[in-house]
């Protein structure tokens, strides 16, 4: 599994791996919002947690179809399916690699973009914490969506239609935690829910994703 993880990380960070693409997309979304809603700092401050969360979610979605598609096309997914490690483990390793190359950089770069949106200082820490707790769920749920759509033509569009409704609970609790943090309210409840969703998804979704992969590899 560790070898698989290192291989995926190497592929993702190499030139053409699309490593910076998600980050650049995140930046562009956040920069575009003030053009859309106007430059008043009060409005921006209020909507900043939500915008950052939605931006992170979309940036995460952007790189999802690469999780299995490349390996499916060149046949290495078949090899992985027959490898001694269970397919669930493969899914978990790939989702983790996806998180390391998308979720983690997004989390770390969020405070920089938060400055652009005038997020109050109190909110920075909670924003990072909420993203750190929530983005693993995004990666694992996304891996499930990618597993379902892996064999399809036009899979990318369908992937977003399937995955976005599944992201709703994560987004609600994540954005609520970040918003409460910036208002100086207690954030423990949404953070606990967010951590619960991430843990449950990480524990259970690999099984669903592996089941879908087995069907697609049949």
Partner 1 sequence: MSLWEYANPKKFMELSGSVLPWVAGGSALCLVVGLIWGFFFTPDDFRQGSTVKIIYLHVPSALMAINAWLMMLVTSLIWLVRRHHVSALAAKAAAPVGLTMTLIALVTGAIWGQPMWGTWWVWDPRLTSFLILGLFYLGYIALWEAVDDADTAADLTSVLCLVGSVFAILSRYAVLFWNQGLHQGASLSLDKEENVADVFYYPLLVAIAGFVLLFLALVLLRTRTEIRRRRLQALLNRERMA
The least CB distance from residue 128 to partner 1, in Å, is 21
Alpha-carbon dihedral 129, 131, 134, 135, rounded to 10 degrees: -140
Q: Name the one range near partner 1 by CB under 8 A: 23-31, 51-59, 77-85, 154-162.
A: 154-162
Q: Does 118 bind partner 1 (CB under 8 A)?
A: no
Residues in the chain: 218
Residue among 17 and 50 whose Cβ is closer to partner 1: 50
Q: Are 136 and 99 in contact (CB under 8 A)?
A: yes
Alpha-carbon dihedral 154, 22, 2, 201, rounded to 10 degrees: -70
Q: Does 215 bind partner 1 (CB under 8 A)?
A: yes
**Closest by Cα among 214, 216, 9 to 93:** 9
What are the tokens at 145?
């969506």
Radius of gyration over every alpha carbon of the chain, rounded to an integer in angstroms? 18
The least CB distance from residue 95 to partner 1, in Å, is 15
Interacting residues with partner 1 between 23 and 42 (CB under 8 A)? none
What are the tokens at 64?
């999802």
For 184, half-sphere exposure in the C-beta direction (CA atoms, 13 angstrom radius) is 3
Site map (CB under 8 A) of partner 1, residues 169-208, x = contact: x--xx--x------------xx--x---x-------x--x
Element (H, E) at 100: none
Q: Does 216 bind partner 1 (CB under 8 A)?
A: yes
Residue from the set 100, 116, 162, 185 that interacts with partner 1 by CB under 8 A: 162
Q: Does 166 bind partner 1 (CB under 8 A)?
A: yes
Q: Does 164 bind partner 1 (CB under 8 A)?
A: yes
Q: Name the one range near partner 1 by CB under 8 A: 37-45, 87-95, 100-108, 148-156.
A: 148-156
The least CB distance from residue 206 to partner 1, in Å, is 12
> Which residues sit at the interface with partner 1, rule CB under 8 A?
144, 148-149, 151-152, 154-155, 158, 161-162, 164-166, 168-169, 172-173, 176, 189-190, 193, 197, 205, 208, 211-212, 215-216, 218
């Amino acid at each position: 599994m560790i070898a698989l993880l290192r291989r995926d990380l190497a592929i993702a960070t190499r030139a053409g791996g699309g490593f910076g693409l998600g980050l650049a997309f995140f930046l562009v979304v956040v920069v575009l919002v003030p053009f859309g809603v106007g430059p008043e700092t009060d409005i921006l401050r209020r909507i900043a947690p939500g915008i950052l969360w939605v931006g992170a979610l979309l940036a995460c979605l952007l790189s999802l179809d690469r999780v299995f598609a490349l390996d499916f096309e060149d046949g290495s997914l078949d090899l992985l399916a027959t490898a001694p490690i269970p397919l669930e483990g493969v899914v978990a390793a790939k989702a983790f690699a996806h998180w390391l190359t998308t979720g983690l950089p997004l989390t770390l770069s969020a405070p920089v973009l938060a400055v652009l949106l005038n997020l109050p200082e109190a909110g920075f820490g909670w924003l990072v914490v909420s993203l750190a707790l929530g983005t693993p769920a995004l990666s694992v749920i996304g891996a499930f969506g990618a597993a379902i759509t892996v064999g399809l033509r036009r899979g990318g569009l369908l992937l977003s239609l399937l995955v976005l409704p599944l992201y709703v609970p994560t987004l609600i609790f994540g954005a609520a935690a970040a918003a409460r943090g910036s208002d100086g309210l207690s954030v423990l409840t949404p953070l606990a829910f967010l951590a619960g969703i991430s843990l449950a998804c990480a524990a259970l979704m690999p099984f669903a994703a592996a089941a879908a992969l087995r069907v697609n590899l049949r």
